Amino acid sequence: MTEPAFDHSEYLEHVNTITAQWARALGASGADAAVVPAGIAQMYFQDDQAPTFHPNPHFARFYPDDNCEHSILLVRPGDRPKLYFHRPASYWYQPPTLPDWAEVAFDVETHADDEQLMKALAAAVSGCSRIALVGPAESCDLNLSPDAVNPKALVSRLQFARAKKTAFEVARLREATEVGVRGHIAARDTFRAGGSEFDIHMAYLGASRQQESKLPYPNVIALNEHAGVLHYQHYDRARPDPARSFLIDAGGRSGGYHSDITRTYSANPGDEFDDLLGALDAKQRDTVAQVEPGVSFVDLQMRMHREVADLLVSFDILRCSVESAYERSVTDLFFPHGLGHLLGLQTHDVGGHFANEDGELAEPPERFPKLRFTRAVEPGYVFTVEPGIYFIPSLLKDLAASDAARDVNWPKLETLMPCGGIRIEDNVLVTSDGVENLTRPVFEALD
């Protein structure tokens, strides 16, 4: 296992930045120490096997490596964070080694034994007047009262702060993008060479050099109608005949940070589906270009629905005005998910609905309950922009039963239904005066 190589000064600056965030958040919540367990994988029911371990993201933001099960951080305002590093003397599994960057950022105490680790931690916090536990409570037995476990006043501040990335985090997101794009290029080429969903999935894993259990989220590898299942989860071993379309939603990870990228292709360049996906691609680029500090993501969502209405009318799928398709919510049946979400240590990163750091919510508009991101954007935020147009049988049934049914060119729609749908998804970074698309230049450079 090779360790991730980080620029130590950038990493230290990141840890200093987030340590200061924790100090402020602890102060506001009235606690004087935070205990942050990485977590312990939970076994399947009556089994001795567990799913692949995913660390507590509050821990992962300090410690950007997955090999940290049972380790615990102690964060106290004014002190360097202290890492209680768990290194069991196991011969069943390879014990983790302490990465060189960890000693740059933390005081470290290494324990082979879990109980000894907990005892040392309990002794260290015995003088604290108010301890908060931030993470999975079952992995840290300090006998705390329930209101000391993940207190909202603390956690909402930490989650709010995660939207704005440090330079270290942006560097990891760039790496995660490169990982994903390498896979995407191989996947596209395997589709063009006649591969099945399974072949494409394997090509993605190989080219992005990721094991399946470490993917940021399960690959969506969808041929034909499967592209109309938003998180389609199977990998058919046989290629359909004919293959018409291919949607791939797949990402990469680096230092725990995720990329989240979708592309759609036609098997028949120049056909109507290809034209439609090209037109949606152009609208997606236009929408990304609108991003700048202060823009409301809710406004972008509404703008994109108008753009989808425009495409449905201009491709003669709907025979009504663009405004009427938008106003009557007809677009909601073709584009049933939100335009995007925050991205970071989690694919659907936390805090997208926070109006402020106190955790008050900015709920999505009633019409768009699935929208995960309602904040005005600020420099340093990283999020996805992922419009779609899908031909989903159950939603088209709703359309057929609605007043708008008479405005639908059903024969045209039926020619597109076997293609399933289109989604185009890039990841963007808000800069001081605009936006940087993190995804597209990497495709251009690596292709």
Q: Note the residues at the interface with ligand GLY (CB under 6 A).
A: 217, 249, 260, 347, 386, 425
Position with the least CB separation from ligand GLY = 249
> CB neighbours of 162 closer than 8 A, spacing ≥ 6?
57, 61, 342, 344, 345, 349, 350, 351
Using CA atoms, how far residue 101 sits from 21, 62, 117, 184, 341, in Å, is 20, 11, 21, 31, 30
Choosing among Mn ion, ligand GLY, none, which partner's interface includes residue 217 (Cβ < 5 to 8 Å by kind)?
ligand GLY
Peptide bond into 81 cis (omega under 30): no
Considering the complex, what minimum distance in angstroms separates the CB of residue 356 from ligand GLY? 25
Full 3-state SS string of 99-129: CHHHHHHCEEEEECCHHHHHHHHHHHCCCCC
Choosing among ligand GLY, Mn ion, none, which partner's interface includes residue 225 (Cβ < 5 to 8 Å by kind)?
none
Reading the block at residue 392, the tokens are 């989903």
> CB neighbours of 397 closer than 8 A, spacing ≥ 6?
none
Nearer to ligand GLY, 307 or 425 (CB): 425
CB 346 within 8 A of CB 163: no
Window 330 to 389, contacts with Mn ion (CB under 5 A): 384
Q: What is the DSSP string of 26-68?
A: HHHHT-SEEEEE---PPPPTTSS--PPP---HHHHHHS--S--
Considering the complex, what minimum distance in angstroms separates the CB of residue 173 from ligand GLY? 15
Considering the complex, what minimum distance in angstroms separates the CB of residue 425 from Mn ion? 5
Nearer to Mn ion, 133 or 428 (CB): 428
Considering the complex, what minimum distance in angstroms separates the CB of residue 19 from ligand GLY? 30
Reading the block at residue 423, the tokens are 């989604």
Window 423 to 442, contacts with Mn ion (CB under 5 A): 425
Nearer to Mn ion, 83 or 424 (CB): 424
Q: How far apart are CA 420 and CA 413, in angstroms?
A: 11
Nearer to ligand GLY, 249 or 274 (CB): 249
Residue entry with tokens 């660390």: 55
Considering the complex, what minimum distance in angstroms separates the CB of residue 50 from Mn ion? 26
- Binding segment (CB under 5 A) for Mn ion, from list 70-78, 229-237, 255-263, 349-357: 255-263
Nearer to ligand GLY, 102 or 429 (CB): 429
Considering the complex, what minimum distance in angstroms separates the CB of residue 221 from ligand GLY? 12
Site string for Mn ion, 406-425 (x = CB under 5 A): -------------------x
Nearer to ligand GLY, 66 or 425 (CB): 425
Q: Could you say which of 66, 260, 307, 407 contacts Mn ion (CB under 5 A)?
A: 260
SS3 223: strand
Q: Which residues bind Mn ion (CB under 5 A)?
A: 249, 260, 262, 384, 425
